[in-house]
Amino acid sequence: MEADISPLKVCVVPFGCQMNRADASAIQELLERRGHVPVRDEDEADAVIYVTCTVRQHAEDRAFSRLGRHARRKRDGRRVILVLAGCCAEKEARGALERLPELDIVCGTRRFHLLPELLDRVRAQGGPIVAVGLDGRPGHEGGFHWRTSPFQAFVTVMRGCDNFCSYCIVPYVRGREYSRPPDEILDEVKRLADDGVKEITFLGQNVNSYGKGLEPPCDLAELLARAGEVEGIERLKFVTSHPKDLTPELADALALPKVCPYLHLPAQSGSNRILAAMNRGYTRERYLELVEMVRERAPGAALASDFIVGFPGETEEDYLRTRELVERVRFSQVFVFKYSPRRGTAAARLPDDVPAEVKKRRNNDLLALHLEIAAEDNAKLVGSTVEVLVEGPSRRDPSRLAGRAPTERIVIVDGPPELKGEIVRVRVESATALALYGRPEEEG
Ligand code: SAH
Ligand code: SF4
Ligand code: F3S
């Protein structure tokens, strides 16, 4: 039998974190190189590839229920290749086929590079095929990056996580940490800069442990400094950092001219009892010391954090400690998540004993507190000037422009559409908890 090598219409659908989105973009590029044609409409595609997230149950359920719709259509006779890729695939492996027997391919987080070949095999011999396992490195590294605009790109610099926070599935689905060699990354930065990219975000599950095991040694602070010297690069960002690996050198790097003074440093909780149960490796006091260090070495830097509410055994007292931490640090951004037990993690053995309505109340309360603080802090910026990389028309009001300040704050700018892709100095005229508003400063 001759293999069918005609191009497929492929639809790659990303879920979850930025690294997943970068991976989805690499997968799409790999498939395009093989001659397949990307389409936006899932219903039009010959192959639907879900690049999934399993960090909370809700994320996983969403992917499976959307895939379920395709499975039903397949049972009704529609010909389509269904691919479960990414973190859910790694977690469920063969079990995914029990949940959704219509799946043709289950492809884990370190097997993405095999997808073109797996699609060929399914077309020639039928499925299902399960390709998972955390050994080795993903073969899709190098030369792939995620471009969100002609002037912005994301580059994965390290992968994996060795921290095993007790609630978290990521170490089990992304495997052990490893860092890409700095020269390879810097070559990529240069190529991107030559192609008009001004802003690069370095990605890693634990980006500030970048460099572990590299010979000759290099760390994230050094990588940022070297990338900042590349001509054409105006802004460097990095996410996400772990408090226990935050060095004075990285805090200093936040004050470098090209590095954005923004640090996403998830605290997760303000209670020492809960932090210990989470296996985070720091106390509330240590976290506050780190905040002080950042504020001393990089004055004006914005700090952002994630918090989990309703971790097993979290009392009202524990929650109040979290609330106090938010009041004390005055984060510029706060992301709050309701605890979701993940099978196989240490915390999943503890009773999920905080009632759903209590989780919800704490979640809403913490967000409301943060919004109050952000509104006050943003109001203090009225009258100042911020540098904004203009990303394009504002989604809420397309007659205006939207962009970000170096601190990640969203800035809505009254200005002409030609400013898209430019870094402009904007005079802040008003502010809300979520955004600053202003117009470009007059020249001269
Ligand atoms: N590596 C990053 C991001 C991990 S996932 C880091 O350590 O910061 C992003 C966020 O999801 C975490 O910071 C945490 O707040 C949240 N999260 C992870 N596992 C969770 C779980 N089981 N339930 C609820 N939130 C969770
Ligand atoms: Fe998960 Fe903790 Fe690793 Fe972040 S550091 S990915 S929360 S185990
Ligand atoms: Fe989700 Fe995997 Fe990212 S579990 S948060 S997509 S690393």
- Report angle CA 174, 179, 183 to the nearest 5 degrees: 145
Q: What DSSP state is assigned to residue 265?
A: -
What pLDDT is attached to residue 11? 98
Measured CA to CA, the distance from residue 419 to residue 401 in angstroms comes to 8
Q: Residue 223 Cα, ligand 3 centroid: separation in angstroms?
A: 24
What pLDDT is attached to residue 136? 80
What pLDDT is attached to residue 444? 53
What's the CATH class of domain 145-379? alpha beta
344: left (phi over 0), alpha (psi -120 to 50) or beta: left
pLDDT band at 267 (very low <50, low <70, confident <90, very high): very high
Q: Are 140 and 109 in contact (CB under 8 A)?
A: no
Any ligand 3 atom below 6 A from CB of 71? no
What pLDDT is attached to residue 244? 96
Q: Which amino acid is at 332?
A: S
For the whole model, what pTM was predicted? 0.96
What pLDDT is attached to residue 2? 55
Can you tell me which atom of ligand 3 is nearest the CA of 205?
Answer: 7
Any ligand 3 atom below 6 A from CB of 22? no
Q: Average the pLDDT over 353-361 and give the result.
A: 98
What pLDDT is attached to residue 3? 61
Per the model's pLDDT, the better-predicted residue between 299 and 145 turns out to be: 299
Give me the residue spans of the domains in the chain: 9-131, 145-379, 385-443
Can you tell me which atom of ligand 1 is nearest the CA of 306?
Answer: 15
Q: Average the pLDDT over 279-303 and give the result.
A: 98
Which residue has the CA at smallest separation from atom 1 of ligand 2? 168
Can you tell me which atom of ligand 3 is nearest the CA of 18?
Answer: 3
Look at residue 7 and tell me whether its pLDDT is greater than 90. Answer: yes
Q: Residue 229 Cα, ligand 3 centroid: separation in angstroms?
A: 31
Q: Are 267 and 259 in contact (CB under 8 A)?
A: no
What pLDDT is attached to residue 442? 79
Listed in sequence order, the residues at least 6 apart from 336 whose beta carbon sits closer than 8 Å to its beta carbon are 306, 307, 308, 309, 363, 366, 367, 370
Q: Average the pLDDT over 254-278 and give the result.
A: 98
Measured CA to CA, the distance from residue 296 to residue 419 in angstroms comes to 34
Tell me which CATH code domain 385-443 carries: 2.40.50.140
Any ligand 3 atom below 6 A from CB of 17? yes
Per the model's pLDDT, the better-predicted residue between 3 and 270 turns out to be: 270
Look at residue 141 and tell me whether its pLDDT is greater than 90. Answer: no
pLDDT band at 276 (very low <50, low <70, confident <90, very high): very high
Can you tell me which atom of ligand 2 is nearest the CA of 240?
Answer: 4
Q: What percent of the chain has pLDDT over 70?
A: 98
Measured CA to CA, the distance from residue 24 to residue 26 in angstroms comes to 5
Look at residue 425 and tell me whether its pLDDT is greater than 70. Answer: yes
Q: What DSSP state is assigned to residue 348?
A: G
Residue written as token pair 């909370």:
56
pLDDT band at 409 (very low <50, low <70, confident <90, very high): very high
- Choose the residue to mutate in 55, 165, 173, 287 for probing ligand 2, maximizing ligand atoms within 8 Å of C-beta: 165
**Cross-strand partners of 12:** 49
Q: Residue 332 Cα, ligand 1 centroid: separation in angstroms?
A: 18
Q: Residue 168 Cα, ligand 2 centroid: separation in angstroms?
A: 6
What pLDDT is attached to residue 227? 98
Can you tell me which atom of ligand 3 is nearest the CA of 59?
Answer: 1
Q: Are 345 and 170 in contact (CB under 8 A)?
A: no
Look at residue 1 and tell me whether its pLDDT is greater than 90. Answer: no
What pLDDT is attached to residue 430? 98
Q: Residue 205 Cα, ligand 2 centroid: separation in angstroms?
A: 7
Q: Which tens digits make up the pLDDT trace of 17-55?
A: 999 999 999 999 999 999 999 999 999 999 999 999 999
Measured CA to CA, the distance from residue 246 to residue 264 in angstroms comes to 11
What pLDDT is attached to residue 137? 78
Per the model's pLDDT, the better-predicted residue between 137 and 81 turns out to be: 81
Edge-to-edge strand list for the sheet holding 9-14:
37-38, 9-14, 47-52, 81-86, 105-107, 129-131
What is the topology classification, in CATH, of domain 9-131? Rossmann fold (3.40.50)
Pocket of ligand 1 (CB under 6 A): 55-56, 161, 167-168, 170, 205-206, 240, 242, 266, 268, 306, 308, 337, 339-340, 342
Measured CA to CA, the distance from residue 177 to residue 198 in angstroms comes to 28
Q: DSSP 3-state assignment of 309?
A: strand
Q: Which tens digits make up the pLDDT trace of 312-346?
A: 999 999 999 999 999 999 999 999 999 999 999 99
Q: Which helix (H) or strand (E) holds 154?
A: strand 152-156
What pLDDT is attached to residue 5? 73
Q: What are the b/e assignments for 264-279, b being 16+ CB within 10 Å?
A: bbbbbbbbbbbbebbe
Can you tell me which atom of ligand 3 is nearest the CA of 19?
Answer: 3
Q: Which tens digits make up the pLDDT trace of 82-115?
A: 999 999 999 999 999 999 999 999 999 999 999 9
Q: Which amino acid is at 79?
A: R
Q: DSSP 3-state assignment of 122?
A: helix
Any ligand 3 atom below 6 A from CB of 302? no
Any ligand 3 atom below 6 A from CB of 53? yes
- Choose the residue to mutate in 308, 335, 343 for probing ligand 1, maximizing ligand atoms within 8 Å of C-beta: 308
Q: Residue 423 Cα, ligand 1 centroid: separation in angstroms?
A: 32
What pLDDT is attached to residue 403? 98
Per the model's pLDDT, the better-predicted residue between 444 and 15 turns out to be: 15
Any ligand 3 atom below 6 A from CB of 203? no
Can you tell me which atom of ligand 1 is nearest the CA of 345?
Answer: 22
Q: Residue 291 Cα, ligand 3 centroid: separation in angstroms?
A: 26
What pLDDT is attached to residue 138? 74
Q: Average the pLDDT over 140-165 and give the result.
A: 90
**Percent of residues in the chain assigned helix, strand, coil, to nearest 5:** 40, 25, 40
Residues in the chain: 444
Reference 381, options 421, 413, 401, 411; nearest CA is: 411
Q: Which tens digits make up the pLDDT trace of 182-212?
A: 999 999 999 999 999 999 999 999 999 999 9
Question: What are the Cα distances from residue 235, in Å, to 107, 208, 230, 423?
Answer: 34, 18, 11, 10
Helix/strand number for the chain, H first, E second: 13, 20
